[in-house]
Each structure stands twice: as structure tokens, then as C-alpha cells.
Amino acid sequence: MSVKSFREALNEAFRQEMRRDPAVVLLGEDISGGMGSGGEQDAWGGVLGTTKGLMPEFGRERVLDTPISESAFIGAAAGAAATGLRPVAQLMFVDFFGVCGDQIVNQMAKFRYMFGGNATTPVVVRALCGAGLRAASQHSQMLYPVFTHFPGLKVVIPSSPYEAKGLMIQAIRDDDPVIFLEHKAMLDDTEEVPDEAYAIPFGEARTWRDGEDITVVAFGRMVQFARQSAEKLAGEGISCAVVDPRTTSPLDTETILNSVRKTGRLVIVDEAYPRCGMAADISSIVAEQAFDALKAPVLKVTPPHTPVPFSAPLEDAYVPSPAKVEAAVRHVMQADRLAGAA
Amino acid sequence: MTLMKLTKSQLLQAYRRMQTIRMFEERLHKEFATGEIPGFVHLYAGEETAAVGVCEHLTDADHIGSTHRGHGHCIAKGCDVMAMMKEIYGKRDGLCAGKGGSMHIADLSKGMLGANGIVGGGPPLACGAALTAKTNKTNGLAVAFFGDGGFNQGTTLESMNFARVHDLPVLFVLEDNGYAETTSSDWSIGGGDPVRRAEGFGIPGIRVDGHDFFAVYAAAKEAVEAIRSGSGPQFIHIEFTRYYGHFEGDAMTYRPPGEVKEERAFLDCLKFFRARVTQGGILTGEQLDEIDDEVEALISTAVAGAKAAPLPVEADLTTNVYLNY
Ligand SMILES: Cc1ncc(C[n+]2csc(CCOP(=O)(O)OP(=O)(O)O)c2C)c(N)n1
Ligand SMILES: [Mg+2]
């Protein structure tokens, strides 16, 4: 056990899995860096440094820098996965999935089903996601709902360094195509992370905090905000459970439903666009399966239905914040009291 | 090409535009280091000949598709420097109301279809603008600027074929600055010869030395004239180097030491321009110095104005997603 950053935790996951299994290869733009240049090799290790040091250990045969041709190399990762390799392809920013969407949603996602179970495609597509870096509309999106929509893809959104390492190892070992999203505002976050390899199973939510009064379901970076809010609200006598599904597909509905059955109240914090998103999805699941347990309407904390803006005050207003989570929780608690008084 | 083909006022204007780009970028480089400029900023310094050498042949009715490294294209196409600077600072009266930032500066009234955060995003848009020009018989054209990295993107290659089969008035301009992020263009452009690649699409192409404004200007002139007289798409491969990191904050360790220093010392396009026009006795050093002073003052005013300008307000967040909804 030692303190590691999110970036280091991921790097360790790649290193350990590459040592364990020679079929694991990495592909992506500048994931090592300096290809064909006269200067330092492995100069970047990926745009934000998560794969630094891997090329020197494993060579350019297993750490493949690519031209800027996402359709080709993401698709090649799918084809290689179906034929014996275990590729981890980095789509630098998840926004760029627009370039290679077909290879993800029509090819890798559907092989197994369309081919009647005759294909296995153990590929990981990893990408940076999320707002907060003033990176504007084409470099800041939180697109897990898009991938969750497609049957055949597993979708992972880790909420801390420990989670990132264990979930990445599971993603690499998993035999289905996995979309793995890394929040760019979390790469320098640190916590205690085991030194040895460990896998966190998909479809098992983590309850960061148990609570009696209200359930807060959150994803990725929003889990941190939910935890901060829960801490603060505890001081006000409101006991919040914080549930982190870890994977949006598969989704651990049981843990969410059990918590809501206990608390009777639900707030969902989702950095993705509000329409057709996870907050909407979970609301519908709870409405269908735990309606009787609800003491108050479900409340969603999401950005508005707009692209991600550039300017600081706009982006700050766009992204959910701990203050907005707290306000939502108080609102739900109050709605409940008002209903009780009526 | 001889210098004589450009009038004095054309030479002065070209110099002013290139110097405006250079000083804009050098100032941004300094200002970025103070931490006051948000987001990703990609500087165009060292590549001025491409934007200016091409756009001097265009009018506001012609369109350009740009890249993430778009400041130079914006300035060359006539975008307001003050409003650009405000946009980069995220201010409310920036060219895109603070919603876009450096990577998305656009001004359709000037025929500038936007810088672009997506590598390969621009060429299809340029084809679309060319389609409009062709359909409406305006005799206008569109330019797709893209980098050596962008030259490997499917959208760029599809656009070249699309433009060819529909004989669209598009000028494809490959800005080969040697690198896509850390990756050298010698490695990434398979086959090694971009002009031959263009010719494979049936598009006539030419390679030019991007340090030499006059070479770029002449090649663009010929290509634009051919397109306006109905040739369909043309291609220009311009070679030079970028003076700064891929984005601000990039330590550039992947480059051989001294690479930029040497280029700046011996191959700088502005120095080269100055030498050519003054040695030929067409312009005087004083005339150019005067422009330098004016541009410097303009950039200072723009930075001061941008810093002082008001930020957007929260209500702006949800405006302009749609026209009506
Ligand atoms: C579709 C897509 N893939 C990757 C990126 C990340 N990226 C931004 S600029 C860049 C390099 C572009 O190189 P080049 O086209 O040569 O332009 P230059 O930066 O040299 O001007 C990359 C990989 C992106 N913005 N969009
Ligand atoms: Mg380049």
C-alpha cells in the first residue's frame, strides 16, 4: 500500500497487466511520444502522462503510437481483440469518439451478438472525460450515457485512484469491450492504493457512506462532491448514503434500490447532459421498482441542456458542485417535510 | 515569383498581417505563463506565411476551415484582433461571447468557419462552404487548413475525394510544421510524399517552402486562380516549423535541442520578408518598423482591453443552444 495519484494508479495497472499477459498492447496518439522525432523518446507518455515509462519497458511493439486516425486504430483495436490480442486503445479525449463512433458502437459492441456468440472482443477504449479545465465544448464532455445506451459495451467511470487501478485491471481482463473514462480533473488526486494487482468486479456499486435519510447516487468526480456534501450535511443532522455505481453498464440496481428502500429519498448527481442520461435512467428504475418506498420526488443534479462552455464563470455554473448537491438534498428533505405537514 | 507582382500596399498589408499574428502569439505566450489565460492555447508563430500567403487571395465571401491552431487563420481572414483576444480571455464581448475560447474562434461574417477542437473537423466543413459557392455560382471558394497530423484523419482524406468527384472549389492547405503533438510528420505521413498523396486523389498539388512568404503567396495565387476558373480542388503542402510547444506548457523534449533556435535565427519568415523587400529597395526598414510599432500597440491595447473586459454572466449559460426551442 502506498499513496498514489490517479495517474500513477492507472500506470501501475497497465504495467502489471502487461507483465502478466503478453497479449496486452497499448495503442494511441502520443501514448509514448517522440515517434520519428530527433528528441526524447517516451516524451509524453500520453497527453496527460498516464502511460509514461511503459514504452521503455515493453517496447514500441507493445506500446504503439498512432497517426491521428481514430477510426483506423480504434477499429484495429477491435479487430485485434477479436483475433487474439488484448488491446487498450486510448481515444485521447472522449469527445473524439465522434470520429470513430462506428467502430465502437456498430463494430466492437455488436460482434458477439450479431455473430451468435462466436466472437470475443476483449478491448478497452480509454479516454479522458469531464469538464473543469476550461477546455470548452469539444474537450470537456461526459459521455458515459452515450456508450451505456449501446448493448454490448461495458462502461466504467472510476471515482478515485484506488477505484481506477482495480477497475482498469478488471477492464483489461474482461472479455467484453469496455469503455473506460478517466476524469481529467482527477488525475492528480491521491490516495492509498495497494501495490499488488487487484480487480474490482463490474456491476458492483461501492457504498462510500451509509446513511439513513437520503441516498445520493453519483458518478466519477461527482462521487467526490457527493462525499463532501454528505460530510457537511451530517453536521446538520442529515444522514446521506453515497452510492457510486462504478460502472454504468452493467449497473448495480440492487444496491441503489436497497439504499432507496432504506432512506426513501434519492438525489442523483450526474456530470453528463441531463437528457437521456444516467440520472434519468436511475430515476426510472427507482420509479418502477421502489415507488412505494419514496417519501419525496427524486431530484437530479446535472448540468443544463447546453454544450460545455469555455469561460470560467460559465463552466463553473455548468458543472454540478458540492453546493448544488447540498441544496438538492435539503430541497428533497424539505419537500418531504412539506408533504408530511400537508 | 518576383516581388514586383505585389504592389507596395499589398506588401505592407501582408507584412502587417504576419507581424500581427507573430506579436499576438508571442504576447499570448508571455501572458499564458502568468496563469491568467484559461484552457488550451496552441500558438501559430512560425507558420505565418501559410495563413497570410493564402488568405491574401481571398475575400470575405470566401470561406476557410481552420484548426486548433487557429489564431493565425483568424487574423489573416480579418477577424477583429481585440475581439479575438477577449475571446481567449473568456470575456463576454469576445468574438464568441466567451463560450468558445482559443480553440473555437469563428467569425462567419468574415468567412472564418471556426478554429476547431477536432483534428480533421475542418476539411468537410470547407467542402460544404465550397458546395454553397458552387451551387450559388458565387465564384467563391473555400480553403481547408489542416496540419500534418490532420492529413492522416479519415475526414480529410474523404473530403479530398469528395471535393474531387464533385469538382468543388476547395483549396487543401497542408500546414506541415514537422509535428503532430510529439509525433514527427516524417513518420506519420505514410508514403512520405503528401503531394503524391493528393495526386492519388486526382488533385494537383505543389510543395512550398513555408519560410518564404513569396513562395507560398505565389503557389496560393496560382491555385486560387485555377479554382476560380473551374479546376476543382487544389492542394498545397507548406513546410515550416512551429516555434512553441504543441500547446502552451509543453516542454518540447521530443524535439532535438536547438531546433527552434536555429529556425528562428536562419529561417524566420518575417526576417526573410524584411530582407527581401528592403534589399530590393521596394520598401524601407523604417516603413516596416512603423508597422511593428503599430502592431505592438494594437496587441497591447487588445490585451489590456481583454483583461479589463467583463466576464459572461450566469444567464448566458443557456443562451444560443438553439435559435428557438
Ligand atoms: C480527432 C482528434 N484527435 C486528436 C486530437 C488531439 N490533438 C489535438 S492537436 C493534435 C495534433 C495535431 O497535429 P497537426 O495536425 O500536425 O497540427 P499542429 O498541432 O501541428 O498544428 C492532436 C493529436 C484532437 N483534438 N482531435
Ligand atoms: Mg503539425
Task: Choose the catalytic residue: A139, A149, A183, A331.
Answer: A139
Residue A340 predicted with pLDDT over 70: no
Cell representation of residue A231:
460530510
**CA A213/CA A234 separation, integer angstroms:** 10
Q: How far is CA A249 from CA A171, A253, B160, B164, B320, in A?
A: 12, 10, 39, 43, 33
- Given a cut of 80, is residue B166 above it in pLDDT? yes
pLDDT per position as a tens digit, A241-271: 999 999 999 999 999 999 999 999 999 999 9
Note whether B114 contacts A: Cβ–Cβ < 8 A.
no
Report the residue from A38, A138, A312 with minimal CB separation from B90: A312
Comparing CB atoms, the residue among B117, B187, B311 nearest residue A139 is B117
pLDDT of B315 > 90? The answer is: yes
In sequence order, which ranges of chain A are alpha helices (DSSP H)? 6-20, 54-58, 70-81, 97-102, 111-114, 144-148, 161-173, 221-235, 253-263, 278-289, 312-318, 322-341
> Catalytic residue at A305?
no
Q: What ipTM goes with this model? A: 0.97
Closest among B10, B9, B84 to B44, alpha carbons compared: B84
pLDDT cut 70: percent of chain B above it: 99
Answer for the pair B321, A314: CB distance below 8 angstroms, yes or no: no
**Cell 496563469 belongs to residue:** B35
pLDDT in tens, B271-308: 999 999 999 899 999 999 999 999 999 999 999 999 99
- In sequence order, the 6+-apart residues with CB closer than 8 A to the CB of A203 are A247, A250, A251, A252
Report the pLDDT value the prediction gives residue B5, as an integer from 0 to 100. Answer: 83
Rounded to two decimals, what is the model's pTM? 0.97
Q: Report residue B142 CA to chain centroid gap.
A: 13
| A130-141 mean pLDDT | 98
The angle subtended at Cα A315 by Cα A313 and Cα A320, nearest 5°, is 110
Does pLDDT of B1 surpass 60? no
Q: Do A2-193 and A206-341 show the same overall fold?
A: yes
pLDDT at A153 over 80: yes
Domain ranges of chain A: 2-193, 206-341
Q: For position A337, what pLDDT does the model report?
A: 65
Tell me if chain A has a CB within 8 Å of the CB of B241.
Answer: no
Mutate to test the interface with B, among A37, A137, A273, A321 (most CBs of B within 10 A): A37
Class in CATH terms, B8-309: alpha beta
pLDDT band at A335 (very low <50, low <70, confident <90, very high): confident
CA dihedral sign of residues A244, A249, A250, A253: positive
Percentage of chain A lying above the pLDDT 70 cut: 98
Contact criterion met (CB < 8 Å) for A35 and B183: yes
pLDDT number for residue A336: 62
DSSP code, position A104: I
Centre of ligand 1 to C-alpha B150, Å, is 6
The band of B197, judged by pLDDT with boundaries at 50, 70 and 90, is very high
pLDDT band at A342 (very low <50, low <70, confident <90, very high): low
Ligand nearest to the CA of B69: 1
Q: What is the pLDDT of residue B239?
A: 98
The residue type at A255: T
Q: Give the Cα separation of A65 and A238 in Å (integer).
A: 50
pLDDT of residue A341: 57
Closest CB to A39 among B101, B117, B253: B253
Preferred mutation among B116, B151, B158, B182 to probe A, highest tally of A CBs within 10 A: B182
Q: Chains A and B: how many Cβ contacts under 8 Å?
A: 159
Q: Phi/psi of residue B135, each to 5°?
A: -65, -45
Nearest CA to ligand 1 atom 8: B119
User: pLDDT (tens digit, 9 = 90+) per residue, B26-67?
Assistant: 999 999 999 999 999 999 999 999 999 999 999 999 999 999
Q: Does residue B119 have its Cβ closer than 6 Å to ligand 1?
A: yes
B188: closest CA of chain A, how far (Å) = 5
Q: Do A34 and B316 touch (CB under 8 A)?
A: no
Q: Whole-angstrom distance between the N-terminal and C-terminal Cα of chain A?
A: 53
CA of B252 to the centre of ligand 1 (A): 15
Rounded percentage of chain B residues whose pLDDT exceeds 90: 98
Topology, domain A206-341: Rossmann fold (3.40.50)
Confidence of residue B2 (pLDDT cuts 50, 70, 90): low
Q: Which overall architecture, per CATH, does domain A2-193 show? A: 3-Layer(aba) Sandwich (3.40)
pLDDT per residue as tens digits for the range A68-89? 999 999 999 999 999 999 999 9
Work out the mean pLDDT of chain A and round it to a whole number: 97
Q: Does B321 touch chain A (CB under 8 A)?
A: yes
